[in-house]
């Protein structure tokens, strides 16, 4: 395998779940490494970034990397206080995330390491930490380009369109797809004919917009946290039912989909069932989508 690859270090949503029943899929929270030669891009800094950091400490060639954060919910930043390269001089760590100013991004990361929540603060980070202005829309890191967009999740949350080695990777860890559709259908009885028509138009436009955000993806890594039963209870929490994720990927013409941000309540057997159900949907729709379960440790060659 070459040096241009994608590797999943953490695939769970919400909280780490290192339970014996979950280890085929993996227990660490969101962290994906995208590597092109000496350039390393990390999507999110959940607990999966901890073993990645330890692996970095075992090599000497690379001393710089970039982290892009989708948002600041714990499952996406909880690995940073234990990310060893941040504590080591001669490392440079570039960080990008949502916010108005660099100071705000820094504050969001400082907060989780402040007393009484953690023994040492980010002032003990000896690496050169470079906060990229959050107003940037088009980010370049060596041969990798990154474009952000907002997704449907509480607070400001980004999805990222990443171009690397002629491949388009779209990373959307937390997103409730087809939210408007679900909201309208739930209340459809309350609307008169004219309102229904208006909402249908709105809904169609919104869905077209959502599809545009993921279209052209060679690889889509997308939130697929809920089963239909979970989704009924947690509509509005900002996560997708896997059925909607698969259907959206098919409608957008995505090539390969990695179901991601797995619910900690779902053990390996439950995620196997989700996978089988997704294959059934793809077959029934005679679609060419290739669908996988994102698993911790999985490495995909991008060359
Ligand atoms: Zn999350
Ligand atoms: Zn979140």
Please state, for a pLDDT cut of 90, what percent of the chain lies above it.
91
Whole-structure pTM value: 0.96
**Mean of the pLDDT values across residues 57-71?**
97
The confidence band for 2, taking pLDDT boundaries of 50, 70 and 90, is: low
Residue, of 202 and 81, whose pLDDT is higher? 81
Greatest Cα-to-Cα distance within the chain, rounded to the nearest angstrom: 67
Ion ligand 2 neighbours (CB, 5 A) are: 73, 174
Neighbours of 212 (CB within 10 A): 11
| Protein fold of 4-295 | Metallo-beta-lactamase; Chain A (3.60.15)
- Residue 92 dihedral angles phi and psi, to the nearest 5°: -120, 125
3-state helix, strand, coil in the chain (%, to 5): 35, 25, 40
Helix (H) or strand (E) holding 131: strand 128-131
Q: What is the rounded average pLDDT for all residues in the chain?
A: 96
Q: What is the crossing angle of helices 242-252 and 193-214, to 10°? A: 70
pLDDT at 210 over 50: yes
pLDDT at 180 over 90: no
Residue 58: partners with Cβ closer than 8 Å, 6 or more residues away: none
Name the least confident of 49-53, 95-99, 202-206, 294-298.
202-206
The confidence band for 1, taking pLDDT boundaries of 50, 70 and 90, is: very low
Q: What is the DSSP string of 81-125?
A: GG-GGGGSTT-EEEEE-SSSSHHHHHHHHHHTTSTTT-SS-GGG-
Q: Would you say 258 and 219 are in contact if contact means Cβ atoms under 8 Å apart? A: yes
* Assigned token pair, 125: 């980070």
Q: Where are the domains of the chain?
A: 4-295
DSSP letter at 133?
P
pLDDT at 66 over 60: yes
Name the least confident of 29-43, 187-201, 226-240.
187-201
Q: What is the pLDDT of residues 230-257, one digit of tens each?
A: 999 999 999 999 999 999 999 999 999 9
Indicate which ligand has the atom closest to the C-alpha of 260: 1
**Mean of the pLDDT values across residues 28-41?**
98
DSSP letter at 19?
-
Residue 155: partners with Cβ closer than 8 Å, 6 or more residues away: 71, 72, 73
Q: Rounded to an integer, what distance in angstroms lies between the CA atom of residue 212 and that of residue 266?
A: 30
Residue 255 alpha carbon to ligand 2 centre in Å: 26
- Across the beta sheet with 299-301, the strand order is 128-131, 92-96, 64-68, 39-43, 31-36, 4-10, 299-301
Q: Rounded to an integer, what distance in angstroms lies between the CA atom of residue 91 and that of residue 76?
A: 21
pLDDT at 195 over 90: no
**Residue labelled with tokens 């995505």:** 254
Residue 170 alpha carbon to ligand 1 centre in Å: 16
Residue 57 alpha carbon to ligand 1 centre in Å: 27
Residue 8: partners with Cβ closer than 8 Å, 6 or more residues away: 26, 31, 32, 48, 258, 294, 295, 296, 297, 298, 299
Residue 225 alpha carbon to ligand 1 centre in Å: 9
Please state, for a pLDDT cut of 70, what percent of the chain lies above it.
99
Residue 174 alpha carbon to ligand 2 centre in Å: 6
Residue 268 alpha carbon to ligand 1 centre in Å: 19
Q: Would you say 301 and 4 are in contact if contact means Cβ atoms under 8 Å apart? A: yes
Residue 223 alpha carbon to ligand 2 centre in Å: 10
Residue 43 alpha carbon to ligand 1 centre in Å: 12
């Amino acid at each position: 395998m070459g040096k241009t690859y994608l590797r999943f270090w953490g695939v769970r949503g919400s909280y780490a779940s290192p339970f014996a029943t979950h280890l085929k899929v993996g227990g660490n929270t969101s962290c994906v490494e995208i590597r092109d030669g000496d350039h390393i891009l990390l999507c999110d800094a959940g607990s999966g970034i901890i073993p990645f950091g330890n692996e970095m400490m075992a090599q000497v060639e690379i001393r710089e990397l970039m982290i892009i954060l989708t948002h600041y919910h714990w499952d996406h930043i909880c690995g940073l206080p234990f990310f060893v390269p941040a504590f080591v001089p001669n490392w440079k760590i570039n960080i990008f995330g949502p916010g108005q100013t660099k100071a705000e991004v820094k504050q969001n990361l400082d907060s989780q390491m402040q007393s009484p929540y953690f023994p040492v603060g980010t002032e003990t980070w000896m690496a050169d930490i470079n906060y990229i202005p959050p107003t940037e829309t088009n980010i370049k890191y060596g041969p990798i380009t990154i474009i952000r967009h907002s997704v449907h999740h509480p607070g400001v949350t980004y999805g990222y369109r990443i171009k690397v080695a002629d491949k388009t990777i779209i990373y959307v860890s937390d997103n409730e797809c087809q939210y408007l559709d679900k909201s309208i259908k739930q209340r459809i009885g309350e609307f008169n004919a004219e309102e229904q028509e208006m909402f249908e138009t709105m809904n169609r436009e919104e869905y077209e917009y959502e599809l545009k955000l993921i279209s052209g993806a060679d690889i889509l890594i997308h939130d697929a946290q809920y089963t239909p039963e979970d989704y009924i209870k947690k509509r509005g929490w900002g996560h997708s039912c896997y059925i909607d994720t698969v259907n959206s990927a098919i409608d957008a013409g995505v090539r390969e989909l990695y179901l991601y941000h797995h619910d900690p309540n779902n053990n390996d057997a439950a995620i196997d069932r989700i996978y089988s159900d997704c294959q059934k949907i793809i077959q029934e729709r005679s679609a060419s989508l290739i669908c996988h379960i994102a698993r911790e440790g999985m490495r995909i060659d991008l060359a």
